[in-house]
Amino acid sequence: MDDSRIQKPNLGYPYEFTLNELDAAQQCIEAHGFAIIKKVLCDELVKELQESVQQVLDPDNALGAGNSFTHSAFIEDSPTMWKLLDHEPYLRAQRTFCLSEDLAILRTAAILRNPGSAPLAWHSDFCGFSNDPPKFSGDILNRGPWPSGLWFYITGSNPEHGGLALIEDSHLEDWTPPEGFQFTPDRRSFHKKGTEPDRYVGFDVPGLVPIITDPCDQIVFASRTYHAAFPNRTDRVRLSCAIIYRPRAYRIEAPWPLSVKAQAFLKALPLRLQPFVEGYVGIDNDWSGEQGKMG
């Protein structure tokens, strides 16, 4: 299928909401696993976030055509992201989606996808399908019921530009892959029946919703929702960033120490914002659960 012709889909239910329709948005997330919130950011903040993602992830434009880069503790390097924590209309929305009045930062991310960059395979961020001992940082961080996706695609999301795709209703605990597909052994992805059990890359999956947004919109998806990213077939970089929250009372026991950079972030954050970093554990992308055993 030529996915360049995919139009904003009519799904038979509303999935775009304003900041004045948060209850309806939350109901859509509960029913279908996602929602789009229109005009959450002003143009000025969009511009500042674009500059910050570019500056932190690829300051010298050296990444090169066809490449992508993900920063998995973006807020530690981007004081511009702190502005979100002072943005009451945005915060009210995050409280609604996380079902908590008292939010704390779980993790943050920014992604830069250059022109020509490859698609991202289908997956769920949720790591609670297995009770095996944790093997990477996601197994520690991504097990809660809060939304996994609270993204700003600050250069817009659409199928030509490396935008997001997701599968409606795939957040439900009894969801199974559509006709012709089966779960990968870890359940975090699926593949075509009769093929290798690798995460599927392709946009011919029944139930696929191409997400089409403006740079000021927020894309929300539920804890388990399966999603993927289209390749970037434009001549413009694709930028995105997110803060994922946990209810403050939900503590994370991280087996890795706080990095020097994480400590500096905690120290630099203004006093009024300190409640957002209560119990902050940062992330260690190299942690594999093996250190203790090997040591």
Ligand X SMILES: O=C(O)CCC(=O)C(=O)O
Smallest gap from Cβ 190 to Fe ion, in A, equals 14
CB of 294 to ligand X, least distance (A): 28
Nearer to ligand X, 123 or 278 (CB): 123
In this structure, the number of other CB atoms found within 10 A of the CB of residue 274 comes to 11
Cβ proximity of 40 and 91 under 8 Å = no
Please give the distance of CA 223 from its chain centroid, rounded to a whole number. Answer: 10
Q: What's the gap between Cα 120 and its chain centre?
A: 13
Task: Return the residue nearest ligand X (CB atom).
Answer: 229
Tell me which of Fe ion, ligand X, none is bound by residue 229, counting a contact when its beta carbon lies within the kind-specific cut-off of 5 to 8 angstroms: ligand X
CB of 157 to ligand X, least distance (A): 8
Shortest distance, position 104 Cβ to ligand X, whole Å? 20
Residues in contact with Fe ion by the rule CB under 5 A: 125
Q: Quick one: what does residue 106 bind among ligand X, Fe ion, none, with the CB cut-off 5 to 8 Å set by partner type? A: none
Residue 208's DSSP bridge partners are 167
Nearest to Fe ion of 237, 244 (CB atom) = 244
| CA–CA separation, 200 and 114 (whole Å) | 22
Pick from Fe ion, ligand X, none: which does 40 bind, CB < 5 to 8 A by kind? none
- CA–CA dist 185, 147 (Å, integer): 23
| Diameter over CA atoms, the chain | 56
User: Please, which residue, 125 or 160, has the CB nearer to Fe ion?
Assistant: 125
210 and 163 Cβ atoms separated by less than 8 Å: yes
* Cβ closest to ligand X, residue 70 vs residue 263: 70
Nearer to ligand X, 45 or 229 (CB): 229
DSSP code per residue over 8-31: PP--SS--EE-TT-HHHHHHHHHH
- Chain residues in the site for ligand X (CB under 6 A): 70, 111, 120, 125, 164, 227, 229, 240
